[in-house]
Structure 1
């Protein structure tokens, strides 16, 4: 009787295991990196791990954004989260074999805000809000690269700490950049 019960348990476990493996092989949910086929996206089993964010800005960014719009008035537009490849371009005479590497270095990075002239849409200056994430080691390296990029292109990058964006304080800090334009 005991051997029969053990054999029955083993068979049940094997059937469950085979069923699990069969179901798993039929699912597209576990897709390895590099195996995504964009043509399959209309398939309802095609796994898309993306979900809509509740907001596109943190509370600090939103408060600064609202105050920037008040301070800058009608002459300037404020664009949030602008990728660096929208601000800087790669020189045409640069070696083509390095182009994609250089592009990746800037198109995966953004500034919190880009201020542009409303009439011409020309960039005037950029703003970074240095919250606690800027204290992490990888962000420190990123900030060094971004700072050097702006410096070498003689383009102002204004840094603010969280809470440092009262309207009067913003006017004082930003006026030196706005008076140039």
Structure 2
């Protein structure tokens, strides 16, 4: 009887030791995984797949086409793409209102900005496709326009349509810039032709 009891106690002790060993291994494995903090939630990344990947292109086909046209029209200026609104204007109020105003612009950008020789912004350009006719985009565009108007920085909206050429872009920019005069070398088909189904980055 005593021998049987001793065997049972030994088996119970072995089971406890094995369970503790398994838990120790599991905790060690969890601690070895990289953890990325994302605000309130911590996300454990997979070791087999990096959490981020480089985009193949900085600009969409339509954005690049318009960018090249802007560079051609403004050789004495510098054209920047995807510029944060907070890099174009500064909040002049203080206190709580400062943070309210800053929060309203920090997540927004304009598609292009043309700067002078001193890299001071002269005019902003937005490339508008059909999505800009939606209610939320219209409200966003109106807000951005009002911010830039308040800061005395003009903004030009270019509709995302096929066949919009250099002459049309030149007319839109003419009130704000001294543009390159058209040359004979400019072909008749030198037009901004957005790819089918394109959507500008948000």
Do the structures match in fold with TM over 0.5? Answer: yes
Q: Distance in 2 between matches of 1:32 and 1:77?
A: 36
Deviation at 1:143, TM superposition (A): 0.8
CA-atom RMSD in angstroms: 3.1
Could you tell me how far apart the structure 1 residues matched to 2:40 and 2:166 are? 48
Q: Deviations over 1:4-43 (max 9, x none)?
A: xxxxxxxxxxxxxxxxxx69x9355797642459xx9xx9
Alignment TM-score, normalising by the size of structure 2: 0.63
2:40 equivalent to 1:34: yes
Between the two proteins, the alignment pairs up a number of residues equal to: 149
Q: Flag as ranges the 4+ runs of structure 1 deviating above 6 A.
A: 29-32
What is the Cα deviation at residue 61 of structure 1? 0.7
1:42-92, Cα deviation, whole Å (9 max, x unpaired): x985x863221111111111100011111111x10000000001110011x
Query: Contact 2:111 / 2:125 at 8 angstroms: preserved in 1?
Result: yes
Which of 138, 141, 147 in structure 2 is aligned with 1:140?
138
Cα distance in 2 for residues equivalent to 1:143 and 1:54: 27
Q: 1:57 aligns with which of 37, 49, 59?
A: 59
- Indicate the residue corresponding to 2:79 in structure 1: 78
Q: Which runs of 5+ in 2 are unaligned?
A: 1-25, 180-202
SS in 1 for 2:176: helix
CA contact (8 A) 1:67 1:165 kept: no
Q: Which whole-Å CA distance do the structure 2 matches of 1:35 and 1:53 have between them?
A: 25
Q: Which residue of 2 aligns with 1:108?
A: 107
Equivalences for residues 151-170 of structure 1 within 5 A: 151-162=149-160, 163=162, 165-170=164-169
Q: Structure 1 CA distance, aligned partners of 2:34 and 2:66?
A: 42
- In 2, are the aligned partners of 1:90 and 1:103 still within 8 Å (CA)? yes
TM-score between both structures, scaled by the size of structure 1: 0.69
* Bigger fraction of residues in helix: 1
Higher relative contact order (CA 8 A, sep 6+): 2
